[in-house]
Amino acid sequence: MFGILNVYKPKGKTSHDVVAILRRVTKVKQIGHTGTLDPFAEGVLPICIGKATRLIEYLKDDKAYVGTVQLGKSTTTYDIEGEGVNFSDKNVTLEEIEAELENFRGDIEQLPPIYSAIKVNGKKLYEYARKGEEVEIQPRKVNIKELRIVSFDSENKTLELYIECSKGTYIRSIANDLGEALGTYGHLIKLVRVKAGEFEVDNAIKLEELTSADCVQKNLENPIAYIDYPQYELTENEKEKVSHGMSFKTSLSDGIVILTYQGFLAGMASANNGIIKCKKVFL
């Protein structure tokens, strides 16, 4: 079994839960996901099966989310699962929100939530938080490619945002930081990942529908369609060399190359000074 599965992760499941379920269904051990989703979040979770797990590093890692922010309250976890910390009765306008969002677009620095899996000194942040231990958290640079308002309910103080961002962006931190910037508070009450690289929510299959190995096989997609590098069709002689991990001459420009043979993925390679060197072989 070889390919990529566009799974819709349900709320309440971890990314590792999804992998474990698919291992039981398919009896395939070599399964991996392309980006962790918090248990309270839902949405697109690309899953690589079989040798396709070796292609994870070549897949695009930008993400897009629709997140709902509750203004007027902050929590320990920056989301709905945490305990309330700060409260405010302040009313903000749509114009104020629009103006403040400009400061969250482009390259920004953000502090990850203390309840996150980032490691500091070999220990995950949430482990410090659960023990009540203080730890210095370093800001991280992320890129917010697109940030816009989907809807705003001024009466209930809920704000729905579309966010397209780089890998490693914490939407929870945006909810918290935006609330503070508006002179009130905020936390995330709903999060849906609508895009991961080239995978979109409209094409995702629900986890509960993947009840058999045949069903998984039917929904597997060819990884070539989701790897954005030049393709090179091997000759019979070149195919033999690649199958043994040997290099060969080429006129290709320097960079990563997808090697194909009779239209199928044969390997990933790098071109450098007219020489193709194999990095991963699938023959």
Q: What's the pLDDT at 82?
A: 87
Q: What's the pLDDT at 133?
A: 65
Distance CA 43, CA 6 (A): 10
Name the class of domain 229-281.
mainly beta
Q: What's the pLDDT at 159?
A: 98
**Residues, the chain:** 283
Residue in 34, 12, 31, 11 with CA at minimum distance from that of residue 21: 31
Kindly report, residue by residue over 59-72, the tens digit of the pLDDT. 988 999 999 999 99
Q: What's the pLDDT at 267?
A: 92
- pTM to 2 decimal places: 0.88
Distance CA 162, CA 104 (A): 12
Residue 262 has pLDDT above 60, yes or no: yes
Residue 136 has pLDDT above 70, yes or no: no
Residue in 38, 61, 62, 89 annotated catalytic:
38
Is 177 an annotated catalytic residue? no
Architecture of the domain defined by 3-59+198-225: 2-Layer Sandwich (3.30)
Alpha helical stretches, state H, 135-255: 171-181, 213-219, 236-243
Distance CA 226, CA 243 (A): 23
Distance CA 112, CA 139 (A): 7
Question: CA angle, 104 as apex, 99 and 108 as ends, to 5°?
Answer: 150
The burial of 52, by beta-carbon neighbours within 10 Å (0-12 exposed, 13-18 middle, 19 or more buried), is given as buried
Judge whether 63-193 and 229-281 match in fold. Answer: no
CATH pick for 63-193 out of 3.30.2350.10, 3.30.465.10, 3.40.1160.10, 3.30.300.30: 3.30.2350.10
Residue 129 has pLDDT above 60, yes or no: no
Cβ atoms of 141 and 107 within 8 Å: the answer is yes
Residue 114 has pLDDT above 70, yes or no: no
Q: What are the residue boundaries of the structural domains of the chain, listed by start?
A: 3-59+198-225, 63-193, 229-281
Q: What's the pLDDT at 144?
A: 97
Alpha helical stretches, state H, the chain: 15-26, 94-101, 125-130, 171-181, 213-219, 236-243
Residue 74 has pLDDT above 60, yes or no: yes
Q: What's the pLDDT at 140?
A: 85
* Residue 170, token pair as written in the block: 């914490």
- Judged by average pLDDT, the poorest of 119-133, 141-155, 194-208 is 119-133
Residue in 211, 215, 204, 161 with CA at minimum distance from that of residue 9: 204
Cβ atoms of 69 and 179 within 8 Å: the answer is yes
Distance CA 21, CA 211 (A): 9
Mean per-residue pLDDT over the chain, rounded: 91
Distance CA 166, CA 236 (A): 40
Q: What's the pLDDT at 61?
A: 86
- Judged by average pLDDT, the poorest of 21-30, 142-151, 182-191, 248-257 is 248-257
